[in-house]
A and B are shown apart, each in its own frame.
Chain A
Amino acid sequence: MKYLSEYRNFEATKRYLQLIGDTVTKTWKIMEVCGGQTHGLVKNGILDLLPDQVQMIHGPGCPVCVTPLNLIDKAVELLENDVIVCSFGDMIRVPGSKKSLLEAKAHGGDLRVLYSPLEAVRIAKENPHKEVVFFAVGFETTAPANALSVIQAQKEGVTNYSILVSHVLVPPAMEAILDDEFCNINAFLGAGHVCAIMGYKDYMPLAEKYKIPIIITGFEPLDLVQGIYMAVCQLERGIYRVENQYARVVTADGNEAALKVIHDVFEIGNREWRGIGEIPNSGYVLTEAYKAYDAELKFGIHRLKVSEHKKCIAGEILKGIKKPHQCSEFGKHCNPSNPLGAPMVSSEGACAAYYHFSNNLIFSK
């Protein structure tokens, strides 16, 4: 199977769009949880191809977008104190309360953009007289690699390495959205990559409790339209259960090896979400055995508290209550060159996706 070309097939995609059109009889609001799915929908022009009754609501699943402001300020503080900070790429332009990581770099901070946290351990070994911190953000998807870096550092006796953890979990976020009084979502497209690690068993109680269909969905055009079709079918028939569209990657139990690494290093704890606030038991913190690798404890930076830009409605965007173009600042005072909030920075952020691919076109959906 040539995953790139076959899941971008014009005819197959068109067939599913047709099926959706033939099946839908009333208006449904479907939230795609993951920012990668938002990106795929907008980049491929799928939103305009869907029937008017199918309204996609963009969810909170952009790791950059939900990383709280004060975590960025902490990373900036580390950079200003001679620490080598390593980060995934799309984190570096997100504005903190004073500056972004990229701006801190311009002021002399040693910032490294990496793809793999294991690379950060290598940098720590090469710079034994410096402290090296990896900015461990992300959902369950990046947790195994971040956990592995800590295990590796411990195994090799690397003591000048630590991680600034901002790991968040998808199911509690979905629950927080469903509990919101303004929530009007009828179905979810579950995040395919997250479920590749975690499996989808955790979503079954959610579907049952809130009586809402959850379709674990991939990221290519065909994945997305098939996922939407499966959601519409359930909604039209009045049923609600977890279905797995992304079966070529996701199993019910997830990736056993990855889960073991995660559970060795992390335990569930409270986490603050950018724009949403603290959600109980919604993220990972380092377990007692690995506390020595917690950058917040190591550098005593856990005291910083700051608030969001007043005009940024990131919270409502992330909860799907508002669309990016419904924000008074969208495209005016907030754009990718001068973002007020994180959703305008990452290519997975709903605001940036709208800005890049739909520009000033006003979306009807």
Chain B
Amino acid sequence: MDIKNLGFDTINLGHGSGGLMTRDLLDKIIFETFNNPILDQKHDGAIVKFDGQIAISTDSFVVSPIFFKGGNIGDLAVNGTVNDVAMCGAIPKYISLAFIIEEGLKLSEFISIVNTIKAAADQSGVQIITGDTKVVEKGKGDKIFINTTGFGEVHPKSNISTSRIKAGDKIVLSGSIATHGMAIMSERQGLEFESDIVSDTTNLNDIVNGLLDTFGDHIHFLRDPTRGGLSSVLTEIVEDTGIGISIFEDQIPIEKQVAAACEILGLDPLYVANEGIFIAIVDKDIVDSVINFMHNDVKGAKAVCIGEMTDAHSTKVILNSRIGGKRIVSPLIGEQLPRIC
């Protein structure tokens, strides 16, 4: 679309009024970009057909800055929800898309986000079937917030649940940790810290789908360790199952410059946010096959077994440090705060 033909270059309160300006924004940008038979009905909601069990997940995206190396809030909003549906052992089909825009957002930025959303949806094979656009006064938002809800069909062979995790199960991590969180951190104002770290945000439904096709219910549990990092997911699992986790520090992959950035800022990479990676808790007998399978996919090229579920210490995550020590991995309390020196 050509911005010049739209007749405005910033989004203002009128675009959220529900009147003609809203209609204009929707017709010229939203419907034009995301056109599909369900959305094109322009109804208040979408009517779709599913076979069998449905997995539903919703998420709101408030990342700042909205543009960062490797992506923007748009693909994050699609990938995040697509991945959450996939982690339920489901095949994502549809997503809803709701914007809360702060007045004054540049139209060019909005269009760029919308285009990224379209590309991310196409890549993961989901359709945007319903949505909403609201505009709030300056100061009542932070440029743009996005909420997406994803709907997927549960994979016929999958049976994903914390109740299926048992002692002896192996924990496979699909890739390097902390990349996304440090990419965002390096762009935040006030940190005076420049790097080439690029966010690894991507859709994981295809690799997960392949795993479920091949290994079915031998995959016991899936989770993408986004906010709160790897440690938060692991500590949640021990709490939910009552089974302990033992992991090995030297097995956990991390990009060199991400590790260096964490060192400089005094952050523990286990607590830094991820996108683009997931953990699979699998039957111990298939762990090597799972890792081999994942190595054939670029999104699982660095897949590695980082540890196992164990009865040795229930409800605790114990990390075996590089130098042969042990420590407990505890949940993140608030935001991880950079240290003074």
Could you tell me if A45 and B327 are in contact, using CB atoms closer than 8 angstroms? Answer: yes
Stretch at the interface among B83-91, B213-221, B259-267, B293-301: B259-267
Q: Which residue of A lies closest to B193 (CB)?
A: A115
Q: A115-B191, A119-B192 are in contact. Are A48 and B341 (CB under 8 A)?
A: no
Specify which of B263, B268, B326, B338 is in contact with A113 (CB 8 Å cutoff).
B338
B328 proximal to A (CB < 8 A): yes
| A113 cross-chain contacts in B, Cβ below 8 A | 190, 337-338
Q: Which residue of A lies closest to B330 (CB)?
A: A356
Q: Which residue of A lies closest to B264 (CB)?
A: A115
| B334 cross-chain contacts in A, Cβ below 8 A | 93, 102, 336-337
B7 proximal to A (CB < 8 A): no
Fill in one digit per residue for B38-61: 1 if any A CB lies within 8 Å of its CB, else 0: 000000000000000000000000
B10 proximal to A (CB < 8 A): no
A361 proximal to B (CB < 8 A): yes
B18 proximal to A (CB < 8 A): no
Could you tell me if A63 and B341 are in contact, using CB atoms closer than 8 angstroms? Answer: yes
Could you tell me if B340 and A137 are in contact, using CB atoms closer than 8 angstroms? Answer: yes
Cβ of B63 to closest chain A Cβ, rounded Å: 17
A186 proximal to B (CB < 8 A): no
| B327 cross-chain contacts in A, Cβ below 8 A | 42-45, 357-358
Fill in one digit per residue for A325-364: 1 if any B CB lies within 8 Å of its CB, else 0: 0000000000111000000001110000001111101000
| B190 cross-chain contacts in A, Cβ below 8 A | 86, 112-115, 119
Could you tell me if B341 and A141 are in contact, using CB atoms closer than 8 angstroms? Answer: yes
Fill in one digit per residue for A32-56: 1 if any B CB lies within 8 Å of its CB, else 0: 0000100000111111110000000
B1 proximal to A (CB < 8 A): no
| B326 cross-chain contacts in A, Cβ below 8 A | 45, 48
Cβ of B326 to closest chain A Cβ, rounded Å: 5
Stretch at the interface among A6-14, A205-213, A241-249: A6-14
Specify which of B263, B316, B323, B333 is in contact with A10 (CB 8 Å cutoff).
B323
| CB proximity to B under 8 Å, residues A111-138 | 112-116, 118-119, 137-138
A199 proximal to B (CB < 8 A): no
| A63 cross-chain contacts in B, Cβ below 8 A | 340-341
Q: Which residue of B lies closest to A39 (CB)?
A: B339
Cβ of A342 to closest chain B Cβ, rounded Å: 12
Could you tell me if A44 and B322 are in contact, using CB atoms closer than 8 angstroms? Answer: yes
| A44 cross-chain contacts in B, Cβ below 8 A | 321-323, 325, 327
A318 proximal to B (CB < 8 A): no
Could you tell me if A115 and B338 are in contact, using CB atoms closer than 8 angstroms? Answer: yes
Q: A43-B327, A119-B190, A357-B328 are in contact. Are A336 and B338 (CB under 8 A)?
A: no
| CB proximity to A under 8 Å, residues B147-205 | 190-193
A321 proximal to B (CB < 8 A): no
| CB proximity to A under 8 Å, residues B313-333 | 316, 320-328, 330, 333
Cα of A115 to Cα of B267 in the assembled complex, Å: 13
A89 proximal to B (CB < 8 A): yes
Cβ of B247 to closest chain A Cβ, rounded Å: 13
Cβ of A273 to closest chain B Cβ, rounded Å: 16
Q: A45-B326, A89-B339, A221-B322 are in contact. Are A115 and B265 (CB under 8 A)?
A: yes
A193 proximal to B (CB < 8 A): yes
| B320 cross-chain contacts in A, Cβ below 8 A | 45
A139 proximal to B (CB < 8 A): yes
| A36 cross-chain contacts in B, Cβ below 8 A | 339, 341
Fill in one digit per residue for A90-118: 1 if any B CB lies within 8 Å of its CB, else 0: 11110000000010000000001111101
Q: A115-B191, A355-B330, A358-B328 are in contact. Are A138 and B340 (CB under 8 A)?
A: yes
Cα of A359 to Cα of B192 in the assembled complex, Å: 34
Cβ of B187 to closest chain A Cβ, rounded Å: 14
| B333 cross-chain contacts in A, Cβ below 8 A | 335-337
A64 proximal to B (CB < 8 A): yes
Could you tell me if A88 and B340 are in contact, using CB atoms closer than 8 angstroms? Answer: yes
Cβ of A111 to closest chain B Cβ, rounded Å: 11
Cβ of B254 to closest chain A Cβ, rounded Å: 11
| B338 cross-chain contacts in A, Cβ below 8 A | 88-90, 113, 115
Could you tell me if A346 and B339 are in contact, using CB atoms closer than 8 angstroms? Answer: yes
Cβ of A329 to closest chain B Cβ, rounded Å: 17
Could you tell me if A4 and B260 are in contact, using CB atoms closer than 8 angstroms? Answer: yes
| A336 cross-chain contacts in B, Cβ below 8 A | 333-334
Cα of A114 to Cα of B326 in the assembled complex, Å: 33
Cα of A10 to Cα of B320 in the assembled complex, Å: 12
Could you tell me if B259 and A4 are in contact, using CB atoms closer than 8 angstroms? Answer: yes
Q: Which residue of B lies closest to A3 (CB)?
A: B263
Q: Which residue of B lies closest to A221 (CB)?
A: B323
Q: A4-B259, A337-B333, A357-B330 are in contact. Are A45 and B325 (CB under 8 A)?
A: yes
Cβ of B149 to closest chain A Cβ, rounded Å: 28
Cα of A356 to Cα of B329 in the assembled complex, Å: 7
A251 proximal to B (CB < 8 A): no
Cβ of B320 to closest chain A Cβ, rounded Å: 8
Q: B residues within 8 Å of A by Cβ?
A: 190-193, 259-260, 263, 265-266, 268, 316, 320-328, 330, 333-334, 337-341
- What would be 10 A-B contacts, judged by CB atoms less than 8 Å apart? A36-B341, A44-B321, A44-B323, A48-B325, A112-B190, A115-B191, A119-B192, A337-B334, A346-B339, A357-B330
| 9 closest A-B pairs by CB | A45-B325, A89-B338, A89-B337, A336-B333, A13-B323, A359-B328, A357-B327, A88-B340, A141-B341
